[in-house]
């Protein structure tokens, strides 16, 4: 290596996983100068960032096989040199907690790691699902992680949001974690959204609540978590609306859905909502005749409107993807026409955050549908539900988790 010029050395080092970059600087002054130079840093993240956006995929906790870790689905196949730089299985997190911290009724669940939310290149994860015993914030690219202090209350929260604050330069100054109860439970708590909030600035948890609008939520609505720190809930009697809770503004909104979706009474469940990179809201639904995708666009200073960005007939969709359609119908011992009549030929799961790709459930496997090409591609054998898919985008620069402030002793 000493005989090679700097350009060749840089090309070699550029293929290292990000978790090893800080070690390279300790090898020699020359390597340290290379990896710390602004040019190398820019080229390194520019070459890797296109393959660090996609979705994390995990199955529901009740059917998740022992030792089954999350999958990461990128929009396009990654080159071999990027395969090792991304720890999508989260295997770097602690394998177990000390037995003294585990309760007998939670030991089985507490041996598994679950993704809760994703934002700014970081993941919020929990050990355990129904009875969480530990929360972590981690970066799957650099393998950095921090554990949050134990909740001072009994935790049965399954939903959470991670929010970060920076100085405008991309460097995260602090982070907050918001745990909240499901909209179905708001009426049981006096019409309030109950919150448990942690801030790395204080190193402490606090309890608070937000008054929710009066909503007729009679069934368990589907919940979609956006990277902007917003949780979207669709279901129940709110057929033509979506409930949106944003942790950054401490607000709850009821947003209208595209009118054509509310006109179709037969498909209350085969729909999904999500965010594009940058915060644009995207909505998709399949009814008896058509598959539509809508984007929420800003018009004027305060105006918002839905714009139809993709439309295809359901039968045409099946004919263009006959292999997937046949597989999905046979799995349920039905015909393609029969599944279309029940609006369940291709259950919708979620969106890719940066590409025009929609993930669908085909016979308990995951397919990726390209809006541009109109075709489906097999992605994963893993069965997934809407709550088990998380959009992820790592910025084109290093992301470091800020240190949690220590709580002063009383």
**Residue 333, token pair as written in the block:** 């011992």
Determine the Cα–Cα distance for residues 221 and 239; give it in Å rounded to an integer: 10
Distances, alpha carbon 25 to alpha carbons 48, 291, 388, in Å: 20, 52, 38
Residue 325 is encoded by which pair of tokens? Answer: 């359609």
pLDDT at 69 over 90: no
Is the pLDDT at 282 greater than 90? The verdict is: yes
Those residues with Cβ within 8 angstroms of residue 340's Cβ, 6 or more apart along the chain or in another chain: 288, 314, 315, 318
pLDDT tens column, 123-165: 999 988 777 888 999 999 888 999 999 888 776 666 899 999 9
Confidence of residue 310 (pLDDT cuts 50, 70, 90): very high
Place of tokens 């949780």: 231
The pLDDT score that the predictor gives to residue 392 is: 92
According to the per-residue pLDDT averaged within each range, which of 219-228, 229-238, 342-351 is highest? 342-351
Instruction: Please tell me whether residue 285 adopts helix, strand or coil conformation.
Output: strand
Give residue 234's pLDDT.
82
Per-residue confidence band for 299, with pLDDT thresholds at 50, 70 and 90: low
What proportion of the chain, given as a percentage, has pLDDT over 90?
30
Query: Residue 219 belongs to what H/E stretch?
Result: none
Please report the pLDDT score of residue 254 as a whole number.
Answer: 85
Which residue would you say has higher pLDDT here, 214 or 2?
2
In angstroms, the CA 245 to CA 163 distance is 13
The answer on pLDDT for 407 being more than 90 is no
> pLDDT-derived band of residue 279, with 50, 70 and 90 as boundaries?
confident
Using the predicted structure, report yes or no on whether residue 267 has a pLDDT greater than 60.
no
Per-residue confidence (pLDDT) for residue 64, from 0 to 100: 46
Torsion (CA) 286, 289, 293, 295 in degrees, nearest 10: -110
What is the β-pairing status of strands 192-199 and 357-362? unpaired
User: pLDDT class for 289, splitting at 50, 70, 90?
Assistant: confident
382 vs 220, which has greater pLDDT?
382
CB contact at 8 A, 405 and 201: yes
Instruction: Name the more confident of 62 and 224.
Output: 224
Residue 108 clears pLDDT 80, i.e. is over it: no
Could you tell me which of 283, 276, 285 has the C-alpha nearest to residue 256? 283
Band of pLDDT at residue 223, cut at 50, 70 and 90: confident
Output the pTM of the full model: 0.86
Q: What pLDDT sits at residue 100?
A: 59
User: Is the pLDDT score of 268 beyond 80?
Assistant: no
Strand order across the beta sheet in which 159-166 lies: 159-166, 172-180, 192-199, 204-211
**How large is the average pLDDT for residues 56-65?**
61
Output phi, psi for 23, to 5 deg.
Answer: -80, -30
Taking 90 as the threshold, does the pLDDT of residue 302 lie above it? Answer: no
Whether the per-residue pLDDT at 62 is higher than 50: the answer is no
Stronger pLDDT, 228 or 223, i.e. the higher one: 228
Say whether pLDDT at 67 is over 60: no
Nearest to 390 by CA among 53, 54, 52, 56: 56
Res 63 pLDDT > 50: no
pLDDT given for residue 65 in this prediction: 45
Overall average pLDDT of the 24-53 stretch: 85
**pLDDT confidence tier of residue 385, bands split at 50, 70 and 90:** confident
pLDDT score, position 395: 87
Between 70 and 134, the more confident residue is 134
Residue 235: Cβ-neighbour burial (10 angstroms; 0-12, 13-18, 19+) = buried
Residue 315: CA count within 13 A, CB half-sphere: 5
pLDDT score of 358:
95
Cβ within 8 Å of residue 381, ≥6 positions away: 365, 366
pLDDT of 12-34, one tens digit each? Answer: 888 887 778 778 888 889 988 88
Strand partners, 358: 351, 369
Between these two residues, 210 and 299, which has the higher pLDDT value?
210
């Amino acid at each position: 290596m000493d005989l090679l010029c700097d350009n060749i050395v840089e090309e070699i080092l550029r293929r290292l996983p990000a978790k090893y970059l800080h070690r390279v600087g300790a090898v020699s002054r020359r390597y340290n100068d290379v990896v710390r130079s602004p040019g190398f840093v820019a080229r390194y993240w520019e070459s890797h960032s296109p393959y660090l956006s996609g979705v994390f995929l995990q199955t529901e906790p009740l059917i998740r096989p022992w030792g089954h870790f999350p999958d990461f689905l990128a929009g396009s196949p990654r080159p071999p040199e990027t395969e090792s730089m991304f720890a999508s299985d989260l295997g770097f997190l602690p394998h177990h907690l000390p037995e003294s911290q585990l309760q007998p009724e939670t030991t089985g669940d507490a041996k598994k790691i679950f993704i809760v939310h994703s934002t700014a290149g970081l993941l919020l994860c929990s050990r355990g699902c129904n009875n969480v015993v530990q929360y972590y914030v981690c970066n799957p690219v650099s393998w950095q992680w921090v554990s949050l202090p134990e909740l001072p209350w009994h935790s049965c929260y399954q939903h959470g949001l991670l929010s970060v604050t920076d100085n405008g330069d991309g460097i995260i100054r602090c982070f907050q974690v918001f745990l909240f109860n499901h909209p179905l439970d708001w009426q049981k708590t006096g019409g309030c959204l109950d919150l448990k909030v942690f801030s790395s600035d204080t190193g402490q948890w606090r309890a608070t609540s937000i008054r929710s609008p009066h909503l007729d939520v009679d069934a368990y609505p589907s919940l979609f978590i956006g990277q902007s720190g917003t949780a979207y809930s669709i279901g129940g009697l709110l057929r033509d609306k979506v409930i949106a809770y944003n942790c950054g503004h401490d607000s709850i909104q009821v947003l209208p859905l595209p009118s054509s979706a509310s006109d179709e009474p037969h498909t209350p469940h085969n729909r999904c909502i999500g965010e594009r990179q940058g915060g644009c809201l995207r909505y998709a639904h399949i009814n008896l005749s058509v598959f539509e995708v809508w984007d929420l666009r800003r018009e004027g200073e305060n105006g918002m409107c839905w714009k139809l960005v993709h439309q295809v007939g359901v039968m045409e969709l099946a004919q263009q993807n006959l292999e997937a359609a046949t597989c999905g119908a046979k799995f349920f011992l039905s015909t393609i026409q029969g599944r279309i009549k029940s609006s369940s030929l291709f259950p919708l799961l979620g969106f890719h955050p940066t590409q025009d790709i929609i993930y669908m459930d085909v016979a308990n496997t995951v397919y990726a549908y390209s809006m541009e090409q109109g075709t489906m591609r097999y992605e994963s054998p893993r069965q997934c539900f809407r709550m088990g898919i998380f959009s992820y985008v790592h910025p084109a620069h290093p992301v470091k988790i800020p240190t949690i402030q220590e709580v002063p002793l009383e």
